[in-house]
Structure 1
Amino acid sequence: MCGIHVSISTKAFHAPSDELKDLLSNRGPDHLGKAQTKIRILDGATYWISLTSTVLALRGGQLMAQPFQDVPSGSSLCWNGEAWAIAPGPVIGNDGQIVFDLLLKASSLELSAADSVAAVLKVLRSISGPFAFVFLDQNHHLMYFGRDRLGRRSLLFNTDGFPISMEFSSCADPASGGWMEVEADGIYQLSFCHENSVFGQPNADQHFFSKSIIPLRRHDWEDQNNTSPFLHNYDAPVQHLRRLLCESLKPRILNVPRPPGLSEAHNVRVAVLFSGGLDCTVLARLAHELLPSNHEIDLINVAFENPRSINAARKTKTSKKKTDHDAQCNSGATTEDIEGEENDLLSDSYYEVCPDRKTGRKAFQELQSVCPTRVWRFIAVDVPYKETMAHRAMVVNLISPHNTEMDLSIAFALYFAARGVGLASSSLYADPVPYETPARVLISGLGADELFGGYTRHSTAFNRGGFPGLLDEIELDVNRLGKRNLGRDDRVISHWGREARFPYLDEALVKWAVECPIWEKCGFGATVLNEPEGPDIEPGKKVLRLLAYALGMRSVAIEKKRAIQFGARTAKMEVGRIKGTALIT
């Protein structure tokens, strides 16, 4: 993973500001590289281009300096990505270097400008994995930039910074406004030819991935009725999902290099962003089957001090104290029992009664029971309100240009979880000790709700519009992942020099999920007659719940969906009525 910055000017070279350089270095602490080049057009116009890359070395066995440069041609690449495969096969070695070599071949002077554009696009469309990039083709005076079709990596641009004509960056410069997110809907191309430029700014063109980035396949019967076959845990879709998830996890968790400074007492390369919910726990369970037996797995669980919920608990305690006291005393409870329960939210045990902390510890216990040979480490990250506010300005800048209260509440949870600092224990009975995970790879369950219909709004869409309404909602969710979630999340998580990886968003898995019939992933509209008893599983994400059940994670299989901001209690931290859609003030 990397931090990238590119500036284009008609006046002089412009490096990133010191503040922005620090943010980029946080993303890539292993290396900072710079390059400068000029493009001179025949009529005398000159463009000054500065490129900066920082590197978090996770591929290829050795550090590869960026930006990638080809001295003979002057072409350069800033690459922030993980190319797990480039059609027709997997990537072996450093992916950035391989991508650069392919782009150099595609932009050769032996090809006409039109043929070169087609060849470059063919290379970029053949990549499986998350990426954002800026590629300068000096041979044809073109620059390409963009993100993968799901938008799993961040790339912003700015055209407001005179005398800089255009600027690209992995994160926004705190010293300047006007930053916007590069949409994950295609590959963009800039031409430096003078006849195509406007007032010194290169002319932009766009090459779409497709009209609908991830089009869902529609099956005729889904439009004709609202009933579907009943899905069992032994059916083929459950086993197919298991195979796809394992294949997705392999490149993301195997062969991860040993983190720098890792003590001999530990052998942990991978951590899971762990709420104890269905999505992340299935990934942890499958990771156990793939990782060597001597690798430990860290489970990072975050809980926040939320003044609003504490204030509500205090009011409830005051208003109901006498009524509850009388009722519970009549049932035999002592005064000490009653006050102890009421004080949970108002004491140091407050973090332990956060919803995600309770489900996290429950799932941790189940993982230990099902996989007793693995060393699982539960990291309880407790975040006081004062500490949340101390980091607020940084988080607000990292999520920019996203700027709503919901963005902020989700980002707080990811930001402090990715920091990975808390109290760790390897069993429910061990005393916790201060700990910071050395893992530089963080596994996230993001994407499962969108693909398999896990949100409440999916149930609502089915109730209102049957399968057509449900499919419309799922397609909308999948196609706006890059716009609503992934760029923002990448900027927040990567701030700590760690890389988030999303196994549910592997291209092969996504392709299967959007093409299979709805009954193979959800249980909405299912009818069953004279079937043997099975798990009491809700329809949302049914295929994933059945997989959890088959893997022995039976309490996880029936766990209700809960949004991260409510599970970790980052939502509506201030006393008063603030909607999630409200802009940050």
Structure 2
Amino acid sequence: MPPEVCYRAWTAPLRVARRRSHHPGPDAQRTHTINLSGPDGRDLSVYCYSSELLLRGDALIVQPHINPTTGDTLCWNGEASFPMYPQISIRENDGARLFAALGALPDPALIPTILGKVEGPYALAYFHNGSRRLFFGRDPLGRRSLLMHAPTKQAPYFFLSSASAGERVGYEVAELDTHCFYELDLGALLGATDFICVQRRTGSHCLQAIPARVNRTLPSESERPFVTSLDEIPPQLSSAVDGLISRLDRSVRLRIENIPKNVSLDKGQLAVLFSGGIDSTVITFLAHRHVPLDEPIDLLNVAFENPRKIQVKRQGNVGGMPKRERRALMIAEKDNLAANRSDQEADYLVPDRETGLQQVEELRRLCPERQWNFVEINVPFAEAQVAREEVEAFMWPRRTVMDLSLAMALFFAARGVGQVRDNTSHPYQPYKSPAKVLLNGLGSDELLGGYGRHRAAYKTGGWQGVVDELQLEIDRIPSRNMGRDDRVISSHGKETRHPFLSLDVVAFLAGLPVNFKMDPRLDVGLGDKMLLRLAARKLGLLEASIRKKRAMQFGSHSARMENGTPNAGGELLLK
């Protein structure tokens, strides 16, 4: 097996960092040093640092997990379940449970077997003192960040971290691959005079919790679409609709039932990244089923000020705004005046704000007993510019224009500082969401064919092209969004959870025939994410079921922050 990373045996420390929050803490911090000695007086130090966000178990667990008897150490950043231990309680700490399971193994060769059975988002580094080996990796979908610096002569140390401080001369980090676990033999490193390899631990024994493959059964080209409207579920799709609702409902429940309750707060314990689109609305509605009715749910809706549009509104079309953009502005302003909205409100009436306001009203009609805090997070252009350098550091080593657009939206949404009001006749009140857990609808477009590129794939390659594109979507989820999003959101001491990316939901949707999930022959707003639209309609979410896809960076206008004009070339590298 070819080496993945080589480590020259320079006498330098090995460092492991679990998570360094934007504000240190927030619940506990600890540093632990492991000193190892080798022949000829050579020694090596392993520095472990953790900044703990407590979201599992009744008692505060200070990390790293340390066994004073064996010397084993675990840095754990995750929210996981263990199929081999179905009796695990939501009152237990998952990291402590995993640490105990690893410590009970008779042979360190079995460690990857245990790790391969963990389900859920995680990144970890586990030092087994008896064998002097360090095992590390992240979950198969990459939902938690883990960065690695491979030693160079200029920076002769090995470094793992869940967080990023941006581009630095002292090291160069890369996101860790998710297809395997890694192993570093520190004992061999102490006695080496040349290169020591970080080994990939692969094979069926340690790759059990992996995403399912897409069903490659192709419908006949002559087969007519199942769906003509969302008003009626065709018999062929009835079981699939029920299956999606039940699995997604369970996924939401598992991701919110263990949130520690703070009895001193009368505010929400849970928040949703809420655009008003079908994805965020469905998981919000399902969360309502499992959150006590006396607890509010915060709906975080972010909007960025666009100075060019404000200039046009106040001074005319200076510089020649494109006709389509000017027309949209005129319509929005007309609607604002009709609703007696203030100038400041109009400045932030971006597409996601409009759909969010519409959708929260549907939720209030369907669930009148719930207090829905629609948190309007308005980001002035100047404030976004000030935050840019910090956000770029958190998202590093991701560094494209699109990465920045998405990261900016997530950064301000996760901060949760905005304003709320009960209805349009009441004045706004300042509000900061205290929720540490944020639900995110990411994953539905990849699994259910919600992007325009799925239609393009059908045009060029038929159903086979769509199937190939859906498989590609699953394969690249870890490398596209997840690590970056985790680093940005956790900078506020918060955690995002993705109900659509439960391996159970992924397996169910991947296993369905492609034409059960989407049909690119149908109109946008019907054929894209067709199965989810039918499920939303069955849940009573009539308005959400017909809402069309809009990317977060365009819906919030975070993609329009470069000199106040739309960014071209989202894959371009930042300067």
Provide the TM-score with structure 2 as the length reference: 0.86
Where does 1:152-551 land on structure 2 (aligned, <5 Å)?
152-160=143-151, 164-174=156-166, 175=168, 176-194=170-188, 202-208=196-202, 214-222=211-219, 225=221, 227=223, 230-231=226-227, 232-233=232-233, 235-259=238-262, 262-263=264-265, 266-310=266-310, 317=317, 347-525=343-521, 537-551=525-539
Give secondary structure in 2 for the equivalent of 1:271. strand
Q: Which residue of 2 aligns with 1:30?
A: 27
Q: Provide Cα deviations, 1:124-146, integer angstroms capped at 9, x if missing partner.
A: 11111100000111111211111
Matched to 2:157, the amino acid is S
Q: Which deviates more from structure 2 when the two are superposed, residues 398-407 or residues 310-319?
A: 310-319
The structural deviation recorded for 1:373 is: 0.8
Work out the percentage of aligned pairs sharing the same amino acid.
Answer: 33
- Segments of 5+ residues of structure 1 without an aligned counterpart are 1-6, 325-332, 527-534
Q: Which residue of 1 aligns with 2:545?
A: 557
The structural deviation recorded for 1:538 is: 1.4
Q: Which residue of 1 aligns with 2:98?
A: 99
* Inter-partner Cα distance in structure 2 for 1:340 and 1:437: 27
* Inter-partner Cα distance in structure 1 for 2:19 and 2:139: 25
CA contact (8 A) 2:57 2:258 kept: no
Q: 2:136 matched to 1:145? A: yes
Matched to 1:583, the amino acid is L
Q: 2:112 matched to 1:121? A: yes
The structural deviation recorded for 1:53 is: 0.8
Q: Which deviates more from structure 2 when the two are superposed, residues 402-411 or residues 463-472?
A: 463-472
Q: Which residue of 2 aligns with 1:85?
A: 82
* Inter-partner Cα distance in structure 2 for 1:374 and 1:484: 35
Matched to 2:355, the amino acid is T
CA contact (8 A) 2:164 2:487 kept: no
Q: 2:60 matched to 1:63? A: yes
Q: Which deviates more from structure 2 when the two are superposed, residues 169-178 or residues 478-487?
A: 169-178
Q: Which deviates more from structure 2 when the two are superposed, residues 152-161 or residues 461-470?
A: 152-161
Give secondary structure in 2 for the equivalent of 1:256. coil
Q: Which residue of 1 aligns with 2:572?
A: 582
* Inter-partner Cα distance in structure 2 for 1:339 and 1:517: 43
Give secondary structure in 2 for the equivalent of 1:362. helix
Give secondary structure in 2 for the equivalent of 1:571. helix
Q: Provide Cα deviations, 1:231-283, integer angstroms capped at 9, x if missing partner.
A: 553711111111101111112112311248x54xx241101110011100101
Give secondary structure in 2 for the equivalent of 1:358. helix
Q: Provide Cα deviations, 1:506-525, integer angstroms capped at 9, x if missing partner.
A: 11111111111112221335
Q: Which residue of 2 aligns with 1:568?
A: 556
Q: Which deviates more from structure 2 when the two are superposed, residues 195-204 or residues 267-276?
A: 195-204
CA contact (8 A) 1:345 1:353 kept: no
**Equivalences, count:** 544
* Inter-partner Cα distance in structure 2 for 1:58 and 1:24: 15
CA contact (8 A) 2:143 2:478 kept: yes
1:338/1:419 CA distance change after superposition, 3 Å: closer
Matched to 2:285, the amino acid is R
Q: Which residue of 1 aligns with 2:71?
A: 74
Matched to 1:97, the amino acid is A
1:56/1:9 CA distance change after superposition, 3 Å: farther
* Inter-partner Cα distance in structure 1 for 2:411 and 2:501: 21
1:9/1:296 CA distance change after superposition, 3 Å: farther
* Inter-partner Cα distance in structure 1 for 2:335 and 2:426: 27
The structural deviation recorded for 1:545 is: 1.0
The structural deviation recorded for 1:549 is: 1.1
- Segments of 5+ residues of structure 2 without an aligned counterpart are 1-6, 325-329
The structural deviation recorded for 1:480 is: 1.1
1:75/1:241 CA distance change after superposition, 3 Å: same
Q: Provide Cα deviations, 1:500-552, integer angstroms capped at 9, x if missing partner.
A: 011111111111111111122213357xxxxxxxx995111111111111111
* Inter-partner Cα distance in structure 2 for 1:201 and 1:61: 45
CA contact (8 A) 2:18 2:50 kept: no
* Inter-partner Cα distance in structure 1 for 2:304 and 2:120: 33
Matched to 2:95, the amino acid is G
Q: Which deviates more from structure 2 when the two are superposed, residues 356-365 or residues 205-214?
A: 205-214
Matched to 1:173, the amino acid is A
Q: Provide Cα deviations, 1:256-315, integer angstroms capped at 9, x if missing partner.
A: 11248x54xx24110111001110010111111121111110101000012355467679
1:211/1:268 CA distance change after superposition, 3 Å: closer
* Inter-partner Cα distance in structure 1 for 2:222 and 2:73: 54
RMSD: 3.4
Matched to 1:71, the amino acid is P
* Inter-partner Cα distance in structure 2 for 1:536 and 1:473: 18
Give secondary structure in 2 for the equivalent of 1:127. coil
CA contact (8 A) 1:313 1:345 kept: no
* Inter-partner Cα distance in structure 2 for 1:308 and 1:290: 43
* Inter-partner Cα distance in structure 2 for 1:296 and 1:346: 27
Provide the TM-score with structure 1 as the length reference: 0.85
Q: Which residue of 1 aligns with 2:327?
A: none
Give secondary structure in 2 for the equivalent of 1:85. coil
Q: Which residue of 1 aligns with 2:122?
A: 131
1:226/1:397 CA distance change after superposition, 3 Å: farther
CA contact (8 A) 1:172 1:398 kept: yes
CA contact (8 A) 1:10 1:47 kept: no
1:12/1:317 CA distance change after superposition, 3 Å: closer
Q: Provide Cα deviations, 1:7-50, integer angstroms capped at 9, x if missing partner.
A: 9995465779xxx9994363741100111112334575432111
Q: Which residue of 2 aligns with 1:328?
A: none
Q: Provide Cα deviations, 1:483-504, integer angstroms capped at 9, x if missing partner.
A: 1100000000111111101111
* Inter-partner Cα distance in structure 1 for 2:18 and 2:115: 27
1:392/1:411 CA distance change after superposition, 3 Å: same
1:236/1:172 CA distance change after superposition, 3 Å: same
The structural deviation recorded for 1:371 is: 0.8
The structural deviation recorded for 1:353 is: 2.3
* Inter-partner Cα distance in structure 2 for 1:419 and 1:9: 43
Matched to 1:550, the amino acid is K
* Inter-partner Cα distance in structure 1 for 2:318 and 2:63: 61
CA contact (8 A) 1:24 1:170 kept: no
* Inter-partner Cα distance in structure 2 for 1:172 and 1:407: 15
